[in-house]
Amino acid sequence: MANSKLRIIYRSNSHAPLWLVAKKSGVWEKNGLTVDTSPELVREKAVEALKNGHVDLISGNHHNLFVRNAKNGEDFVHLAQAGNNWTENRLVVTDGIRSVKDLRGKRVVADKLNSHAGLNIWLFLRQEGLDTDRGDVELVELRGSSEERWKRVLAGEFAGTFVGIPHDERAAKAGAHVISVRAMPMIRGVTLTTTIGFVKDHEDEIRRLIRGFVDAIHFFISRKEETLEILKEHATPILRLQSEEEVNRLYGEWHQSLERKPYPSLEAISNVFQLAVRRNPEIAGFNPLALWDTHYLRELDDTGYIDRLYK
């Protein structure tokens, strides 16, 4: 019998490490699946591709589906979550900034302010007592690469910017001061997103996908050398990594942040919903848990399968 085929697009190249390891490790074939994964960098097209049946699942779409379910009664659903923490939590700053509190009255540069990147920074600063709406900090939008933003900080144009790896080390080597801040709980990165209609029509494939997803995480965590080889060969050109050290740091961050049992955390759901409400205040009364269905993961978990993997 031929393997069942699933088509998945991921919303950002930052999702690539786990999808590459899943593809190259053989976990899909082990679970009777052929999974076609590819990046979709034109973000506006991802949801429509799902709705039109051009793809079966999306890796991503974290905060912008709440409004569609809440206002339009659409049936988007998240099934599993690979990581529950914000990882662009390295603050590149100018001289004289020694903590987040020192950003008061300063200008911080970010990517799109109305996207995940900028909204994460808005929420983090707010939780740290710096409300951009009150003018405690001025957030300035500068679309493009992280490198351009931290170089503008280094030149003294802005007081700080938030980056992930490897840009923290690259900025430090260029002479910038880099502060590691707390890892704010956040739904981000690899999220299995689809529609309830698709799930109902493909329950067997969904069960095998969830098991394969769990297997991919286990492979990534437990088979370090093989995973590093996959990342060196396949992730390096996608993420433009410049050294073996950067590959090793990438592995270390993913190893630390991956959920062995890929449930979302309540804190991460609460925080990502605040991003959605920031964009669409009228959905504040919507229950964010309504966008999640983890019972297929729980069904697998209840068999003891995941626990046995790590014994």
- At residue 44, the pLDDT reads 46
In the sheet that 76-81 helps form, which strands lie side by side, from edge to edge?
Answer: 33-39, 4-10, 57-59, 191-195, 76-81
- At residue 39, the pLDDT reads 77
Do 57 and 126 reside in the same domain of the chain? no
Do 67 and 105 reside in the same domain of the chain? no
Do 69 and 195 reside in the same domain of the chain? yes
How many domains does the chain fold into?
A: 2
Do 66 and 96 reside in the same domain of the chain? no
Do 301 and 208 reside in the same domain of the chain? yes
Determine if the pTM surpasses 0.85: yes
Whole-number Cα distances in Å, 214 to 18, 49, 87, 232? 11, 25, 21, 22
Strand partners for 146? none
Choosing from 149, 180, 211, the residue where a domain stops is 180
Choosing from 180, 213, 236, the residue where a domain stops is 180
At 27-56, the pLDDT tens digits run: 999 999 999 998 765 554 788 889 888 899
Q: What is the CATH number of the domain that holds 232?
A: 3.40.190.10
Residue with tokens 């996608």: 238
Residue 258: phi and psi, rounded to 5, are -65, 140
Do 70 and 209 reside in the same domain of the chain? yes
Q: How confident is the model at residue 194 (pLDDT cuts 50, 70, 90)?
A: very high
Choosing from 156, 180, 204, the residue where a domain stops is 180
- At residue 21, the pLDDT reads 98
Cis peptide before 166 (omega within 30 of 0): yes
At 262-273, the pLDDT tens digits run: 999 999 999 999
In DSSP notation, 39-81 reads E---HHHHHHHHHTTS-SEEE---SSSHHHHHHH---EEEEEE
State the residue range of the domain holding 117: 90-180
Question: What amino acid is encoded at 104 in this protein?
Answer: R
Joined together, the tokens standing for residue 286 give 């919507």
Do 20 and 52 reside in the same domain of the chain? yes
Share of the chain above pLDDT 90, in %: 88
